[in-house]
């Protein structure tokens, strides 16, 4: 035991690609022993992605740091029996197949609960274990489209803009999975019993639209794309182009922040009141920002109440002195003789291992675990 909150917690991970692997990465970072079950020969499909970090993709390596790997043919009844022996001693199981697949493999919840009543069994899917779309194939963009989230973000031509973040996979899948696994483990502390968790990525996107749902249900004012307070309808929450075609992100929503912002951009006091004609004020601010290059605005937004900054690239953000000083990139991902910063994850420092460097697992590197008929 190393003092981490999840030390001694055993996790079987049948998931692939992003949602499940990110969820189990968070558990691993908090001390859980995560054993990844992969296909012999090829493993998780993400291993084959580009670019590579060693023999596997950097995407796979980032999401699977600190885990172990078993290469198992789940169509082989004898192999499945050995996996069941692992499940009999596991605390948590995470799977990401379509509903019914684990049952057909002989690894469904009811089968494993009979072996291990304390098992927390977490299923992550797009649309959940029930409902008309339960068997439908889809990806992040589909979930955002069908829940109304995508329709709230419009470009200059009025068409929805493809989100830069995989909100459904991460915010609707990985994070809720971790939260509910931890709740289930706490409940197990009280009752002694595990449970089945049904995490549906599409379901969990509605939380992100609390304000849109509230406006519609309470006032009948269903939001329009690009027209609301936080979707581009206000000069106080907007992206403005600079003279050198960089961009300023401005979010001075509250009045005191708005006054500081207006002062920083030198806006005519007559244009400060944006309640009567927000479009006109937006144009006035845009003219001010457009008149100067990004370098000017970096220096102009020194007032901490401005709520404005120049939009950075990912490369610039990784070199940003604030994030570097906070140690966001201090942990290392080891791949043979190479090391890169590990993926920053929302697990606070007191819960993480003292060692900063850890490798990702090579496919089948821990197959000997199967011969032990479970964890020692």
Active centre residues (catalytic): 139, 169
3-state SS, residue 93? strand
Q: What are the tokens at 218?
A: 């309470």
Q: Which of 376, 374, 310 is nearest to 116 (CA)?
A: 374
CA distance 309 to 250: 7
CB 299 within 8 A of CB 258: no
CA distance 108 to 117: 13
Q: Which of 82, 68, 62 is nearest to 11 (CA)?
A: 68
Query: Residue 306 contacts by C-beta under 8 Å, 6 or more apart in sequence?
Result: 252, 257, 260, 261, 264
Q: What are the tokens at 294?
A: 């990004």
Q: To which residue do tokens 């189990």 refer?
A: 24
CB 242 within 8 A of CB 291: no
Q: To which residue do tokens 């990912």 refer?
A: 314
CB 215 within 8 A of CB 221: yes
CB 75 within 8 A of CB 101: no
DSSP string across 26-84? HHHHTT-EEEEEE-TTT-SGGGG-SSEETTEEHHHHHHTTT-EEEE--TT-HHHHHHHH
3-state SS, residue 332? strand
User: How many other CB atoms sit within 10 Å of the CB of residue 301?
Assistant: 19
């Amino acid at each position: 035991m190393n003092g981490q909150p999840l030390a001694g917690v055993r996790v079987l991970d049948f998931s692939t690609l992003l949602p499940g692997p990110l969820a189990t990465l968070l558990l691993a970072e908090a001390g859980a022993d995560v054993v990844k079950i992969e296909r012999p020969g090829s493993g998780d499909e993400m291993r084959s992605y580009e670019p590579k970090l060693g023999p596997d993709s950097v995407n796979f390596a980032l999401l699977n740091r600190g885990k172990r790997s078993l290469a198992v043919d789940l169509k082989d009844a004898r192999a499945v029996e050995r996996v069941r022996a692992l499940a009999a001693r596991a605390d948590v199981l995470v799977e990401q197949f379509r509903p019914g697949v684990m049952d057909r493999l002989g690894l469904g919840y009811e089968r494993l609960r009979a072996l291990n009543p304390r098992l927390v069994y977490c299923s992550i899917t797009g649309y959940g274990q029930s409902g008309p779309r339960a068997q439908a194939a889809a990806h992040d963009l589909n979930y955002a489209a069908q829940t109304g989230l995508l329709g709230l973000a419009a470009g200059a031509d009025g068409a929805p803009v493809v989100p830069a973040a995989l909100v459904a996979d991460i915010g609707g899948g990985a994070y809720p999975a971790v939260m509910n696994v931890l709740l289930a483990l706490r409940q197990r502390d009280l009752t002694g019993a595990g449970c089945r968790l049904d995490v549906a990525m599409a379901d969990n996107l509605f939380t992100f639209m609390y304000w849109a749902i509230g406006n519609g249900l309470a006032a009948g004012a269903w939001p329009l794309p690009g027209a609301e307070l936080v979707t581009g309808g206000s000069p106080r929450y907007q992206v403005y182009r600079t003279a050198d075609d960089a961009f300023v992100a401005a979010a001075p929503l509250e009045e005191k922040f708005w006054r500081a912002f207006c002062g920083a951009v030198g806006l005519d006091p007559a244009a400060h009141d944006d309640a009567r004609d927000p479009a006109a004020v937006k144009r006035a601010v845009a003219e001010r920002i457009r008149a100067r290059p990004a370098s000017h605005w970096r220096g102009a937004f020194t007032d901490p109440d401005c709520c404005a900054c120049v939009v950075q690239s990912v490369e610039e953000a990784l070199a940003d002195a604030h994030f570097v000083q906070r140690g966001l990139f201090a942990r290392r991902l080891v791949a043979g003789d190479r090391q890169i910063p590990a993926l920053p994850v929302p697990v606070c420092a007191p819960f993480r291992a003292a060692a900063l460097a850890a490798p990702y697992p090579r496919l089948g590197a821990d197959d000997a675990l199967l011969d032990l008929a479970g964890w020692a």
